[in-house]
Amino acid sequence: PGDCRAEHILRRTADLRDGARRRALAAVLPHLVRRADAVRRELRVRGIDRVVTGSHAAAADLLSRFGDPAPHVVRDAVAAPRGLDRARLRVRVGAAPSERLLAWRGLPGHGGGLDAAVRALRILGPGHRLVLVGWSRPREEAERVATAEGVADRLAFVAPAPQGEVVELLSGADLALLTGEPVDGAARLVTPAALFECLAAGVPIVASDLP
């Protein structure tokens, strides 16, 4: 739903430092809201035969707000690459064979759950390393949190990569952490693509209890 996406972009914009990227996102937001409203008006005039969404939570929300027809739920899927190299992640971050790797696939900024993942690393103690897979923000943001918890030396970063490569990297983790928080409509209702990447990788998942 467009209003959930607008709320999500508004939150992401607030997380950014003042600069060109923040100004660009702030400029896009009103257009996105107007576009979503226009699409809804047009659909009401034309009539809706089918509604398809990606989660039961989103389907229930759409039905309660807009009425019939009841949405059909079609899950996303990520294909598992053949012949996964499960050692790739360990080699990439230079981890010892005895270390347990926790892969984090959250979104940077407020609501991504990075604080919770770092606190988990502190609670688990030495011998565990937290790998931020697909991290695209300045490292200082994550390192500041890890330093406050005393675990900065057990934090590793993997830059964004094509989805097939991400799945292969995730397959080398001992555990995947999906620690998102219900800070907006998109976070509450939409199943994150990272969940399906972890399923394709065949890695155990610890996830937030969201709808």
On average, the pLDDT of the chain sits at 85
pLDDT attached to residue 77: 86
Find out whether 40 and 3 touch, Cβ atoms under 8 Å: no
* Cα-to-chain-centroid distance, residue 158: 15
Class of residue 121 by CB neighbours under 10 A (exposed 0-12, middle 13-18, buried 19+)? buried
| Residue range 30-60, pLDDT digits in tens | 787 788 778 877 877 787 788 899 889 889 9
Indicate the pTM of the whole model.
0.76
Residue 3 has pLDDT above 60, yes or no: no
Q: How far apart are CA 121 and CA 151, in angstroms?
A: 7
* pLDDT at residue 150 in the model: 93
Instruction: Give the pairing of strands 205-207 and 155-158.
Output: unpaired
Residue 145 has pLDDT above 60, yes or no: yes
Looking at residues 115-132, what average pLDDT do you find? Answer: 92
Range in 81-90, 151-160, 196-205 with the lowest mean pLDDT = 81-90
Q: Supply the pLDDT for residue 1.
A: 47
Alpha-carbon gap, residue 168 to 92, rounded angstroms: 12
- Per-residue pLDDT band at 157 (split at 50, 70, 90): very high
Element of type H or E holding 111? none
For residue 111, give Cα distances in angstroms to 43, 57, 58, 182.
32, 19, 19, 7
Task: Give the C-alpha separation, 13 to 21, whole Å.
Answer: 8
- Segment 71-89, tens digit of pLDDT: 999 988 888 888 889 999 9
What residues form DSSP beta bridges with 52? 72
